[in-house]
Amino acid sequence: MHTIDDCIMRRRTFLKKSVAATGMLAAVPLVSFGQTPVLTMVLRGGRAFYQGSWQRPDIGIDTAGKLHMGEAGTLQASTILQLDNKVVSPGFIDILTDNTANPEKSYAIVEKFKVSDGVTTALQMHGGSAQIAAYYKSFGAKPHWTNYGVSTAVMRVRYAATSLAERKRRVEQCLAEGALGVSHSIEYQPTPYDEVLGYAKLARKYNRPLFLHLRYSSEGQELEGVDEAISFARDSGARVHISHLHSTGGTFHMAEALTKLRQANAQGQEITCCVYPYSYWATYLHSTRFDEGWQQRYGLTYNDLRLVGTGERLTAASFEKYRALKKLVAVPEGTLPMERTVDLALKESFCLIGSDGGIEYAANANSHPRGAGCFATAVRHALDIGMPLESILNKMTLGPRQLLRPILDSRGILVSGATADLAVLDPAAINGTATVSNPNQFSKGIDLVIVNGKVAYADGNLKQMNGVVIKY
């Protein structure tokens, strides 16, 4: 079986011989879009959900890293990849990449596990930075596997400033400096309603979304957090996104939570949510989730908690030790029953996929498996429960594009002139391989990833760093 690398090399060798023998390559006509494009690569034979139906178009990439869509067999380039039995999708957009501990050192590790999972754009919308200009200046000088961008981290703003006026000034400064939105986690840092509403109004002023980790995750109060998010959308006019609804807001009452969101959208609000395709959550032991009473809130014991990266079961003594070390733990599989949480949410058009994760340490893993395998796992799970492939792909591409409009207008879509961010997958083989005990695993069935027109990942190997900044 030939790899994609083999196909590229064989095609280039064939073309060199053909040119030497006939001198006719330059005379091969190309599809015209005003001017004749010079295509560097054509993807041929793969299935793509294009213009509302499954087709097998030629997908060309020009020298500027833009897409050119053509009928099957009509485009020519120096490299033609035959992708029979494969699916070509816009590159996945992870709106909830997590890289907070030490991004200067860990960003490339985070991005390599994202790109191997089909992600071409990794955005930190659940947190981000409180110094946007400095962040973009620093990371703009570094090479990237994926496109990248950050939101305004309200938690960090609030740590740095005590007065409400100064906090609002700093949030607005972040937006003016190009932040992709405003993000806050009001369970981890409880904040008065009126203060959060002020941040939501700033998001609306700049036409950016407000990303929320809801206030409550307990069975008795989680729906109050959903109601509050709806109120933020109604009272501010901002589009509001609820992060990982199945672990915070819909764990125990997902059907009711979705009904509330559906009704709010019908009444003119714009509210989205996301989930990750796992039946268990993970977070840091020093967070407020593990404050006094956590056993009662979640119905868990010390022994239910697993240290991510090893799978070690905790005891009362090791709980205190690892809490002091700020370690990440995962709760048992089934804590978030898929059929009562994720599967219900995936039926809604306003529900997207977001990882809420990132692999930050290469040798000593300490991350939920969603950091490496979220998107491949989501595709596999969707297919296994009978969901149409185009529906799950839309939740990773067109949905994020719409939420983060207009900055992502050229990404997440197959159309001539769009940016050539692409993921080629094998629907028969695709799946995440990351586990709690070993999260640092590349996904299966992601055969090729192209970022801004260049091959970033192919046949299980990292190739070229070609990511760019996403900012206003």
**Domain 90-281+331-451 CATH superfamily:** Metal-dependent hydrolases (3.20.20.140)
pLDDT digits (tens, 9 = 90+) for 413-465: 999 999 999 999 999 999 999 998 888 999 999 999 999 999 999 999 999 99
The CA distance from 134 to 213, in Å, is 25
Residue 7 has a pLDDT of 54
Q: Looking at residues 369-374, what average pLDDT do you find?
A: 94
The CA distance from 271 to 235, in Å, is 13
Grade residue 389 by pLDDT with cuts at 50, 70 and 90: very high
Judge residue 82's burial from the number of C-beta atoms within 10 Å of its C-beta, 0-12 exposed, 13-18 middle, 19 or more buried.
middle
Question: Cα–Cα distances in Å, from 320 out to 280, 291, 316?
Answer: 22, 12, 7
- Positive or negative, the CA dihedral 205, 211, 213, 219 is positive
Predicted confidence (pLDDT) at residue 4 exceeds the cutoff of 70:
no
Grade residue 14 by pLDDT with cuts at 50, 70 and 90: very low
pLDDT digits (tens, 9 = 90+) for 220-261: 999 999 999 999 999 999 999 999 999 999 999 999 999 999
Residue 203 has a pLDDT of 98
Predicted confidence (pLDDT) at residue 26 exceeds the cutoff of 70:
no
More confident of the two residues 117 and 331: 117
Task: For the chain, give every domain's residue range.
Answer: 4-85, 90-281+331-451
Q: Around 449, how many Cα atoms within 13 Å sit in the side-chain half-sphere? A: 34
pLDDT digits (tens, 9 = 90+) for 138-151: 999 999 999 999 99
Residue 82 has a pLDDT of 97
CA angle, 338 then 98 then 148, to 5°? 120
Share of the chain above pLDDT 90, in %: 77
Query: CB within 8 A of 316, min separation 6: which ones?
Result: 302
Neighbours of 240 (CB within 10 A): 25
Neighbours of 48 (CB within 10 A): 25
pLDDT digits (tens, 9 = 90+) for 260-289: 999 999 999 999 999 999 998 888 898 888
The CA distance from 136 to 129, in Å, is 10
Predicted confidence (pLDDT) at residue 24 exceeds the cutoff of 50:
no
Grade residue 131 by pLDDT with cuts at 50, 70 and 90: very high
Predicted confidence (pLDDT) at residue 29 exceeds the cutoff of 70:
no
Q: Report the predicted TM-score, pTM, of the whole model to 2 decimal places.
A: 0.90
Output the 3-class SS for the chain: CCCHHHHHHHHHHHHHHHHHHHCCHHHCCCCCECECCCEEEEEECCEEEECCEEECCEEEEECCCEEEEECCCCCCCCCEEECCCCEEEECEEECEECCCCCHHHHHHHHHHHHHCCCEEEEEEEEEEECCHHHHHHHHHCCCCCCEEEEEEEHHHHHHHCCCHHHHHHHHHHHHHCCCCCEEEECCCCCCCHHHHHHHHHHHHHCCCCEEEECCCCCCCCHHHHHHHHHHHHHHHCCCEEECCCCCCCCCCCHHHHHHHHHHHHHCCCCEEEEECCCCCCEEECCCHHHCCCHHHHHCCCHHHCEECCCCCECCHHHHHHHHHCCCEEECCCCCCCHHHCHHHHHCCCCEEECCCECCCCCCCCCCCCHHHHHHHHHHHHHHHCCCCHHHHHHCCCHHHHHHCCCCCCCCCCCCCCCECCEEEECCCCCECCCCCCCCCCCCECEEEEEECCEEEEECCEECCCCCCECCC
Residue identified by tokens 């090729």 is: 448
pLDDT digits (tens, 9 = 90+) for 390-408: 999 999 999 999 999 999 9
pLDDT digits (tens, 9 = 90+) for 38-90: 999 999 999 999 999 999 999 999 999 999 999 999 999 999 999 999 999 99
Q: What is the mean pLDDT of the chain?
A: 91
